[in-house]
Structure 1
Amino acid sequence: MTLTLKHLAAALLIAAAGVSTHTHAQDAKTLYIGMNGGDMERSYTKYVFPAFEKIHGVKVVVVPGTSSDILAKVQASKEKPPVNVMFLDDGVMVRAVKMGLCSKLDDSPVLKDLYPAARMAGGMSAGVNVGMTGIAYNKKMFDEKKWAAPTSWMDLADPKFKGKVVFQSMPASTFGLHGFLMFNRIQGGKDNNVEPGFTKWASTIGPNVLEYIPSSAKLSEMVQTGEAAIFPLTPTAVATQKARGVPMEYAQPKEGSVLLMVAECVVANNSNPAMAQKLAEFLLTPQAQAAALEFGNQIPSNQKTTTANANANATVERFKGYMKTVITLDWDAINASRPEWNARWNKTVER
């Protein structure tokens, strides 16, 4: 049979329609999750998401970024958000919920197994992993100089660390914010009054700071080159760097460390809300959190999480000790004043 131009045109239209439908179906089978890149992205992509993907026949793709980056992307496109689920630091998550960017999590038995602090914002969000910001230090340098391990946030102001303190920028980093707020408390301030912290910074910690960094990505290099002696960080981040041979150690400050959770929420108006809810629920299960613990040093928020890995279980036991003195911040007060603090920090600290 001779194929006429009319038949050929019809065939091409059918083929094009088929390709379009297939592409749409493939898109529907992909979930996008906003989270930190680097170690977290690698561990979740390799060890956590595959089990979910196999069960539900979907692909989970990470859109990497800091909490502030992810929040900005979702806020800018809130009618058609670029991700289905997002991981944000707890303080940023409180803002996201208040901005109406999250859908309420489906009620699930797994929520009852979380630490109470991980059940957030009236069920709008939940902590996926828990941790704390304390002090980390360059173990090699401390050993060589025979310095005792730090014990207080005020060790950052010790004159022997002049030019050796690395501090994360408060506007850009939760670690920097935590460190500043603990310093502020020691100076007599509160989460709704940072005047003491700003007043005393320039005569205490400020002169010791070598560099204010936007994120902690540079720290491993700065420790290995001998530039950084002491800085705010979490036990989880320290454990990850130690596993790579970076000579870091964690110290729990006597004044307490600051509770730091990575929280998740299902993004409002996302393209696949039912499957997004399933992913959010899965990430709170002992199965998912055991993998994140064993392969990513992520401390589980689900209290029923166990692993066969002795080192991972030892990490959790150490964490429970740190939790005895952990400080919980007033995020409503902080978020109400954060823009003003950021502007003041940029003008008076990182000028």
Structure 2
Amino acid sequence: MISLSSSFVRHTCTTAVASSLAALSLLAMSNAAHAADPKTLYIGMNGGNMEKTYTQFVFGPFEQKNNVKVVVVPGGSSDILAKAQAAKDKPQMHLMFLDDGVMYRAIGMGLCEKQKPNPNLAGILPVAHIKGDMATGVTISMTGLAYNTKVYADKGWAPPTSWLDMADPKLKGKVVFQSLSSSTFGLHAFLAFNKLKGGTDSNVEPGFTAWPKTVGPNVVEYIASSAKISEMAQTGEAALFPYTPTQVTILKSKGIPVEYVHPKEGGVVLMVAQCVIANNSEPQLAQELAAYLLSPEAQGKALENGSFNPTNTKVQVTGAAAAEQKRLNDYVKNSRNVDWDEVNKNRAVWNTRWNRTIER
């Protein structure tokens, strides 16, 4: 029989205990590190300039304060809406940015939850409170007209001044128009034209009747989104097209010869609104992010770095950003709001008619 000394037994027990303690310590450290891993919030929004601005300049303070990573799911408003609708029972996103007209549809589909009271709600424009704060506007602009300065200079044409310039015979084959069924810019421009022909947001018969003999012959191409505008403006194919001041600023920064014109009849208000997606996996954090994105701090950064005009009236900036804010707010004063409830009630019928009679 082998006899173990008491010292050997004590040594062995001590070593085992030490190993166990070390293992527990490593496990605790691992759990602590895991607990410190940031949560991820997914937000659907336009790619390009908006994604870049918010990712590089806006989300940072919120991420640091809350140990959160905000990840953009890029896409146009219709794409983001489709993604949210497809995942309605188990949302993959926490917030989404949509053009205001599309946001009204999202609310009607039950995709949004009411934004909880927070101090920043008191600072935003009245028009930015959508359906009792089921959604809120984060940036406000307008659709007007953009024209190719090189084409106009080469032709010796005076700059456009009116929505009716889209129908000027000299522009035959030189107007680019975003499809009514897929673009807010196109819908806005059509509604503006329709209004000048005697129509309303509930009666588009005047616009549809007049289009084939006025604007229609001038359209070189109906495009599904504004992504193709940059190329067509560079080649000179696009001389006139509906656009926003912010989008024009982006094109100009790339050296493309364009300018924004605010039609004398007024522009059409375009807000990008946010909503917290109903039944998302991080409801409290999502609400806090939505509140932050309405703050003067967040909207000031978006204005300074991306020319996104704030809806919070308490935003204070200086220099070029302040000049841009004043310019855009002056345009907003001379722009009209669309009756989205009325438009969305009829839009599917309009889209079908547009595709069959205008873009055929």
Q: TM-score, normalised by structure 1?
A: 0.92
Where does residue 124 of structure 1 map in the other structure?
134
Q: Which AA in structure 2 matches 1:250?
A: Y
Cα distance in 2 for partners of 1:157, 1:137 equals 14
CA distance in 1 between counterparts of 2:76 and 2:87 reads 17
Residue number in structure 2 paired with 1:313: 322
Which of 206, 210, 222 aligns to 1:200? It is 210
The equivalences for 1:319-330 within 5 A come to 319-330=328-339
Query: Structure 2: 5+ residue runs without aligned partners?
Result: 1-11, 13-22
Q: Are residues 1:165 and 2:175 paired? A: yes
1:221 to 231, 234, 237: 231
- The alignment status of 1:337 with 2:315, answered yes or no, reads no
* Number of aligned residues: 334
- Please tell me the root mean square deviation across aligned C-alpha atoms, in Å: 1.8
- Give the match for residue 250 of structure 2: 240
Which portions of structure 1, spanning 4 or more consecutive aligned residues, are displaced by more than 4 angstroms?
Answer: none
**Local SS of the residue matching 2:141:** strand
Task: Indicate the percent of aligned positions where both proteins have the same amino acid.
Answer: 58
Counterpart amino acid of residue 87 in structure 2: S
Amino acid in the other structure paired with 1:261: M
- In the TM superposition, residue 104 of structure 1 has moved relative to its aligned partner by 0.7
Look up the match of 1:95: 105
Q: In the TM superposition, what whole-angstrom CA distance separates every residue of 1:90-140 from its partner, at most 9, and x where no partner exists?
A: 011111112111111010111111111111111111100000000110012
Q: Does 1:255 align with 2:265?
A: yes
1:270 equivalenced with 2:270 (yes/no): no
Cross-structure match for 2:301: 291
- Secondary structure of the equivalent of 1:202? helix
Q: Computing the radius of gyration over CA atoms, which structure comes out larger, 1 or 2?
A: 2
Q: Secondary structure at the match of 2:71?
A: strand
Match of 1:7 in 2: none
C-alpha separation in 2, matches of 1:70 and 1:321? 30
Tell me the secondary structure at the aligned position of residue 147 of structure 1. coil
Offset of 1:345 from its aligned partner?
0.7
CA shift, 1:144, in A, is 2.1
Alignment of 1:182 with 2:192, yes or no, is yes
Equivalent residue, structure 1, for 2:312: 302
Match of 2:57 in 1: 47
Distance 1:115 1:99 in 2: 25
Between 1:261-270 and 1:319-328, the stretch displaced more is 319-328
Give, in whole Å, the separation in 2 of the partners of 1:83 and 1:321: 35
Question: Does residue 68 of the first structure (1) align with residue 71 of the second (2)?
Answer: no
Matched letter for residue 42 of structure 1: K
Q: Which amino acid in 1 is paired with 2:138?
A: V
Aligned counterparts of 2:96 and 2:107: Cα–Cα separation in 1: 12
